[in-house]
Amino acid sequence: MGKASKDKRDIYYRKAKEEGWRARSAFKLLQIDESFDIFRDVTHVVDLCAAPGSWSQVLSRKLYLPALARGVPAEELPKIVAIDLQPMAPIEGVTTIQGDITSMDKVREVLSHFDGQYADLIVGDGAPDVTGLHDLDEFMQAQLILAGLTVATHILKPGGTFIAKIFRGKDVSLLYSQLKIFFPNVTCAKPKSSRNSSIGTWVRVRVVLLAVTTLCVFIFALVLTTNCFGNHRGFHRMPRLHSTTWF
């Protein structure tokens, strides 16, 4: 049976269509929030690798639209910035930027929309095009998350949260070590909406996702919280890695 047919049988695919989400991945972010309460007291958010926009939709519906309905003054409404190399259709309450997240010019452009404030939350469900060469795919995904980490060190506030996707393979311990230099708490979790199809493609790959991917056997969510000190943009080290899964 083809991929399209399998998608149509998927409960989250159908729910996404019924509820107006651009992709089923919206439920992964919703379930991460249910378990980690990542939207609490959040007013400045960045969505990396945002297209087609399902996570930006979640941010709009969970943060911007409720504040708008409460009559929050325009200058105090949550600010959401979405960035991607691909163009993205508009979403209410979301500022879209087309560009490369590794560009410092784009980082400065993101900050310009926050009126001098740093981000409370950065999310990213991006993944490179898969080649089928597992070592190469793992390496490319690691480079993507490190690019997101570079953005986070420039625009994430002390105590903020970073949600990102990574592939978990034989060399993932190096990536964990790099992440734990910057984040005292690293949590891996698997949202129940994560799809376990395409087993033949990823039979030797465990995926640690912040978001969730549709191309892996195991998908996890990664939640990282910063803990800066003084006025410096540096972070304390925390050696332990905590894991949570939902089935």
Give the strand pairing for 206-208 and 156-164: unpaired
Any catalytic annotation for residue 15?
A: no
Alpha-carbon distance of 128 to 126, in angstroms, equals: 7
HSE, side-chain direction, 13 A CA sphere, residue 64: 18
Where does residue 91 rank: exposed (0-12), middle (13-18), buried (19+ CB within 10 A)?
Answer: buried
Residue 96, CA atoms < 13 Å, CB-side half-sphere: 19
From the candidates 165, 180, 190, 192, give the one annotated as an active-site residue. 165
192-221 CB burial, b ≥16 within 10 A, e <16:
ebbbeebeeebeebbbbbbbbbbbbbbbbb
What is the gyration radius of the CA atoms in the chain, in angstroms?
17
Which tokens hold the place of 236?
């304390």
DSSP 185-208: EEEEE--TT-----TTTSTT-EEE
Annotated catalytic residues are: 165
